[in-house]
Structure 1
Amino acid sequence: MKTLTAFALALVIALPVAAQNSGLRRLTDRDDLFGWEAVGRLNLNGGGICTGTLIAPDLVLTAAHCAFDDATGRHFAPGQVLFQAGLRDGVSVADRKVVQIETPPEFAARGAISTERIRVDIALMRLETPIPTALADPFALHSGDLRGSEVSVSSYGRGRTEAISRQRSCSLLWRDQGLMAFDCNVTFGSSGSAILAREGTRGRILSVVSTGGKIDGRVVGYGMELDGIVDRLKRQMRRDAPAPRASVRRLQAGSGRSTAGAKFVRPGGS
């Protein structure tokens, strides 16, 4: 198996040297945040964080390695991950618990970083209830040709965990064999961030941050092609969705009102 380091060196060394893009803007004010509310912080059980992005009112796209409990090697249990949409300095537009997680079956939670692992380092998380689009407008996936090499990223990360930091412009370095590399400013906590490419009037999701590192002093992030894999995860999610529990109505003699009943979440969504 070719390791990421060998693969990256083989491709990046051949690239022309360019200035490292490092300009980050902290989205602190409500006006700054407008249009970016669908980006949120994922609080993982045990204290870790990742970044996730809404692609539907009840679906968060992130990295697969953000979906696993290190202690068990299994997906976090329902309720152990909290998505905070548009979080800034303790205030979010909406908080939702994650109740279902899907990752590709071939993703190895405890596997070594490799090109094969990055290609499938993608996860979908279903929220307990949808977040209204009036509060957070989901991002669509990129489709069609990518014109130019300029992309952007908005994320949380080490040293900037309390508000989204947006890098308006960074560069796609290469894309090949289902992988991408970019010089966006990513760090711990940026895992799962959406790499956005301009399409129409709004950015669309081109890739998701899987990992990063430095090569010859340059910060390089790595992600995957999304073509087909997100649809596959949606099919898995529909297949694995828990069946609704039937409610039982208990009536008191002489009363037409129930005294108890099961509560359940209606399945469905995107």
Structure 2
Amino acid sequence: MLRPLFFFLACLLAAGAALAEGETRLEEMATADDTRGWEAVGRIDMGHGSFCTGALIAPDMVLTAAHCLFEPDTGEPIPVAQMEFLAGFRNGRAEAYRGIRRAVSHPEYDFGSDKKVFRVSRDLALLELERPIRSTHVIPFDIAGARLRKGSEVTVVSYAENRATAPSLQQVCYVLESYRGVGMLSCSVDFGASGAPIFLMSETGPRIVSVVSAKAEADGQPVALGGQLHGSMEALEEALSSATYVGMGARLSGSPDSSRLGAKFLRP
């Protein structure tokens, strides 16, 4: 069973419902030439046949979504012994295989919170690898020093259900709305794409601005949701430095939710 994403039915934001002109289709990266430069995106196998997507941001550090660290049915933390990062995984082989030493969610993330918009805004996690990946073929990505802004053009690389054996690239999709730390995007995602890096392209190459948290619908059109990475990296790094077990994080209650990004969350 593939790791499920939360499913969000948006009832507002009609202006963001139509896909923007210029958006490209999702394309499988089936060859070495296709994946060149993207090898630091990998599949995170979580045990029991489930997986998420993650991206290397340091030789020993992977960025992904916080909800990937928890059993979807029980909310229990998944033991790190069951996790493995497969950098640049394609057609049965990876550029590098690494176990996970420690894993931590954002200190303000609460898997069981009913404040679902706030939960998406903090749906971020770091995995520390057992050993660094030092390879000229696997270069960690930089973090963008910018926020998700409405109208921005972004790029997504992900694994997902029915495309688990090779990464897929959507070169151009758009930020349809951004509010209270949550971006709604026109990008194509599916189960397994949780944690996939969302990139802003710059003159120096791709920089990660967010990660995929959920697939969604807005006015009948498919969209994706991601939390703002800007302002969260320091909190994640501090949490990891003191973490001794998977999913370590605060349990918050009473956090404000936002009706602007929709009316109802559903679980598939």
- Answer whether TM exceeds 0.5 for this pair: yes
Residue in structure 2 matched with residue 206 of structure 1 by the alignment: 209
Shift of 1:106: 3.1
Q: Secondary structure at the match of 1:196?
A: strand
Instruction: Determine if the alignment matches structure 1 residue 184 to structure 2 residue 187.
Output: yes
* Aligned residue type for 1:61: L
Report how far residue 144 of structure 1 moved. 4.1
CA distance in 2, matches of 1:146, 1:52: 19
In 1, distance between residues paired with 2:14 and 2:72?
34
Alignment match, 1:264:
none
Matching of residues 1-270 of structure 1 within 5 Å: 8-10=10-12, 12-15=13-16, 17-18=18-19, 21=23, 23-70=25-72, 73-112=75-114, 114-144=116-146, 149-240=152-243
1:133 Cα offset (Å):
4.1
Percent identity between matched residues is: 38
Query: Does structure 2 conserve the Cα–Cα contact (< 8 Å) formed by 1:22 and 1:184?
Result: no
Distance, in Å, in 1 between the alignment partners of 2:52 and 2:115 is: 17
SS in 1 for 2:206: strand
Provide the secondary structure at the position in 2 that maps to 1:184.
coil
My pick for the range that moved more, 118-127 or 102-111, is: 102-111
Gap runs ≥5 in structure 2: 1-6, 246-268
Bigger shift: 137-146 or 201-210? 137-146
Q: Please give the root-mean-square deviation of Cα atoms over the aligned residues, in Å.
A: 2.3
Contact (CA 8 Å) 2:11, 2:219: kept in 1 or not? Answer: no
Return the TM-score normalized by structure 2: 0.81
In 2, the alpha carbon distance for the partners of 1:112 and 1:89 equals: 39
Residue-by-residue CA offset, 1:98-121 (whole Å, 9 max, x unaligned): 120111233222345711110111
CA distance in 2: counterparts of 1:51 and 1:198, whole angstroms? 19
Counterpart-to-counterpart distance in 2, 1:120 and 1:164: 25
Give the Cα separation in 2 of the matches to 1:15 and 1:162. Answer: 32
**Secondary structure at 2:57's aligned position in 1?**
strand
Structure 1: 5+ residue runs without aligned partners?
A: 243-270
SS in 2 for 1:131: coil
**Structure with more relative contact order (C-alpha pairs < 8 Å, separation 6 or more):** 2
Alignment partner of 2:81: what SS? coil
**Partner-residue secondary structure (3-state), 2:11:** helix
Aligned residues: 237
User: Looking at CA atoms only, which structure, 1 or 2, has the larger radius of gyration?
Assistant: 1
Q: 1:213 to 1:113 in 2, by over 3 A?
A: farther
Q: Relative to total residues, which structure has the larger strand share, 1 or 2?
A: 2
Q: For the residues of structure 1 that align with 2:212 and 2:227, how far apart are their CA atoms?
A: 8
The CA distance in 2 between the partners of 1:112 and 1:214, in whole Å, is 19
- Residue 13 (structure 1) shift: 1.1
**Alignment CA distance shift 1:66-1:145 (3 Å):** closer
1:114-141 deviation per Cα after TM superposition (whole angstroms, max 9, x unaligned): 1111011110001100001413101111
Deviation, 1:71, is: 6.4
3-state SS in 2 of match to 1:79:
helix
Task: Provide the TM-score with structure 1 as the length reference.
Answer: 0.80
Secondary structure in 1 matching 2:174: strand
Match of 1:248 in 2: none
